[in-house]
C-alpha cells in the first residue's frame, strides 16, 4: 500500500518540473514514505511532456498522463484522482509556489487526526492586489454559501485528502476551486485548514486571468444548486412558481373586484388592459407556470438519472 499520492496538474511548466520533482523526492526519502508522483500534462505546448518522460525514466515512482489538448485544471485533477492509489492524496501546483516541505504535516493531519480533507491557507501571499482582493471576496462568498466557515482559502492548490474522498467525488468544468464544498456535499464533513507557505513564482507566468473570477462565481452557484437540489429540483422551482402564480392571481382578482365595485357604485372604471398591474399579473402568472414546468422537467430528469439512488455509504457491518 502506497502512503502518499502526489497529484500535480500542469500546463507549460517544463522549467519548474525537474526542481519540483527533486524537492518532492527529497522530502519523501527523508520521511521514508512510499509514494507516487502523478504528473498530469494538460495539453502543454512546451517541453513539459519530454521532461515528464525523462523523470519517469529515472524514477519509477513518477507517472505521467498527457491530454491531447488543454481541458483545464479540474479535468487534470479528476483524472489524477481516478489513477491514484495512495492512502493519502496530496495535490499541489507545478509552479513551485507550493512547498513540498508541507507534505509531512498534511499527511500527519489526515492519518493522525482522522480528517477527510486538509486545505492549505496561504496566509501570506506574493500575488498582486488584483488577485488577492477578488480572492478574499470569493472565499467569503463561498463560506456563506457552503457553511464551511473554518476555511480561509478554498482555492489553494495545496491540499491533502483521505483516499475515500477523491474516489467519491467528481470534479469538472472549473470546480477545482470548490473541492471542499463538493466533498462536504458528498458527506465528508471533517474538513480543516493548514497554514502553508506561499512562494513567489520562479519560472513562467500565471495561467489564469480575470475571467476566472466570473467563472468561479457561476461555478459556486452551480455547486450550491446541484448539491442542495440536484435530486429534488421541484423543491427549488416549486416554491418560486407557487409564489409568482399566487401573486399574479391575487393582482388579477384585485383588478376584477375593483372594476365590479366601481360598476356597482356607478363610476366608470378604467379598462383592465389599460392598467400596468394587469401586465404585471400576467407576467407573474406566466413565470409561475414556467417555474412549475421547469420543476417537473427537472424531477423527470432526476428520476431517470443513472445515479438517482447513488448514496455515499461510509461503512457496513
Identify whether residues 12 and 39 lie together within a single domain: yes
Asked if residue 314 is part of any domain, the answer here is no
Query: Cβ neighbours of residue 209 under 8 Å, at least 6 residues apart?
Result: none
Q: Are residues 199 and 277 in the same domain?
A: no
Q: What is the DSSP string of 268-286?
A: -PPPGGGSHHHHHHHHHHH
| Residue 33 and residue 133 in one domain | yes
177 with 238, same domain: the answer is: no
pLDDT at residue 216 is higher than 70: no
The predicted model gives 107-121 an average pLDDT of: 94
- For residue range 41-51, what is the model confidence (pLDDT) as tens digits? 999 999 999 99
DSSP 251-269: HHHHHHHHHHHHHHHT--P
- Residues 243, 215 share a domain: no
Last residue of a domain, one of 229, 244, 272: 229
**Region 140-149: what's the mean pLDDT?**
82
For residue 151, the tally of other CB atoms under 10 A from its CB is 20
The C-alpha cell at 22 is: 527533486
Q: Are residues 223 and 242 in the same domain?
A: no
Return the C-alpha cell found at 227.
448539491
168 contact partners, CB below 8 Å, separation of at least 6: 186, 187, 188, 312
Given pLDDT bands bounded at 50, 70 and 90, which one contains residue 129? Answer: low
Give residue 301's pLDDT band: very low, low, confident or very high (50, 70, 90): confident
Local confidence band at 142 (pLDDT 50, 70, 90 cut-offs) = confident
* Average pLDDT along the chain: 85
Going by their DSSP bridges, the two strands 88-91 and 117-121 should be labelled as unpaired
Q: Which domain holds residue 168?
A: 4-229
**Residue 315 lies inside a defined structural domain of this protein:** no
Strands 88-91 and 35-41: unpaired
pLDDT of residue 274: 80
Angle at alpha carbon of residue 10, lines to 122 and 154, rounded to 5°: 30
Main-chain phi, psi angles of 24, to 5 degrees: -65, -45
The answer to whether residues 144 and 291 belong to one domain is no
**How crowded is residue 295: how many other Cβ atoms within 10 Å of its Cβ?**
22
Q: Are 302 and 233 in contact (CB under 8 A)?
A: yes
Q: Which strand (E) or helix (H) includes residue 90?
A: strand 88-91
Say whether both 90 and 215 belong to one domain. yes
Residue where a domain terminates, one of 229, 254, 280? 229
Looking at the structure, do residues 137 and 271 belong to the same domain, yes or no? Answer: no
Quick one: how many helices (H) and strands (E) in the chain?
Answer: 10, 7
CATH number, domain of 73, equals 3.90.550.10
Q: Is the domain of 87 the same as that of 146?
A: yes
The pLDDT of residue 314 is 53
pLDDT digits (tens, 9 = 90+) for 16-61: 999 999 999 999 999 999 999 999 999 999 999 999 999 999 999 9
Residues 180 and 154: beta-carbon distance below 8 Å? yes
Q: What is the pLDDT of residues 55-105, one digit of tens each?
A: 999 999 999 999 999 998 999 999 999 999 999 999 999 988 899 999 999
> Looking at residues 225-251, what average pLDDT do you find?
83
Q: Yes or no: say if 80 and 156 are a contact pair by the CB < 8 Å rule.
A: no
Q: Tell whether the torsion through CA atoms of 12, 15, 18 and 20 is positive or negative.
A: negative
Residues 43 and 104 in one domain: yes
Number of domains in the chain: 2
pTM for the predicted model, two decimal places? 0.74
- CA 230 to chain CA centroid, Å, is 15
> Is 46 contained in some domain?
yes
Please tell me the predicted confidence (pLDDT) of residue 258. 85
Structure confidence at residue 137 (pLDDT): 79
Amino acid at each position: 500500500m502506497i502512503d502518499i499520492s502526489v497529484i500535480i496538474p500542469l500546463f507549460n511548466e517544463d522549467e519548474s518540473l525537474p526542481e519540483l520533482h527533486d524537492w518532492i523526492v527529497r522530502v519523501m526519502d527523508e520521511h521514508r514514505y512510499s509514494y507516487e508522483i502523478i504528473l498530469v500534462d494538460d495539453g502543454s505546448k512546451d517541453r513539459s511532456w519530454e521532461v515528464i518522460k525523462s523523470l519517469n525514466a529515472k524514477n519509477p515512482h513518477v507517472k505521467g498522463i498527457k491530454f491531447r489538448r488543454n481541458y483545464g485544471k479540474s479535468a487534470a485533477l479528476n483524472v489524477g484522482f481516478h489513477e491514484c492509489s495512495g492512502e493519502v492524496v496530496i495535490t499541489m501546483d507545478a509552479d513551485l509556489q507550493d512547498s513540498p516541505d508541507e507534505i509531512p504535516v498534511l499527511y500527519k493531519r489526515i492519518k493522525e487526526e482522522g480528517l477527510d480533507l486538509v486545505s492549505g491557507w496561504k496566509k501570506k501571499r506574493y500575488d498582486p492586489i488584483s488577485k488577492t482582493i477578488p480572492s478574499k471576496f470569493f472565499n467569503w462568498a463561498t463560506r456563506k454559501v457552503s457553511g464551511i466557515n473554518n476555511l480561509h482559502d478554498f482555492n489553494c492548490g495545496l491540499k491533502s485528502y483521505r483516499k475515500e474522498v477523491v474516489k467519491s467525488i467528481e470534479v469538472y468544468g472549473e470546480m477545482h476551486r470548490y473541492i471542499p464544498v463538493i466533498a462536504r456535499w458528498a458527506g465528508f464533513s471533517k474538513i480543516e485548514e493548514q497554514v502553508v507557505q506561499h512562494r513567489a513564482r520562479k519560472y513562467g507566468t500565471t495561467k489564469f486571468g480575470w475571467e476566472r473570477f466570473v467563472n468561479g462565481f457561476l461555478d459556486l452557484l452551480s455547486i450550491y444548486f446541484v448539491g442542495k437540489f440536484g435530486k429534488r429540483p421541484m423543491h427549488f422551482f416549486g416554491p418560486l412558481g407557487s409564489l409568482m402564480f399566487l401573486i399574479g392571481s391575487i393582482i388579477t382578482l384585485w383588478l376584477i373586484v375593483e372594476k365590479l365595485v366601481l360598476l356597482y357604485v356607478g363610476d366608470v372604471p378604467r379598462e383592465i388592459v389599460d392598467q400596468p398591474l394587469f401586465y404585471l399579473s400576467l407576467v407573474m402568472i406566466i413565470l409561475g407556470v414556467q417555474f412549475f414546468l421547469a420543476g417537473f422537467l427537472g424531477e423527470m430528469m432526476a428520476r431517470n438519472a443513472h445515479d438517482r439512488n447513488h448514496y455515499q455509504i461510509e461503512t457496513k457491518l
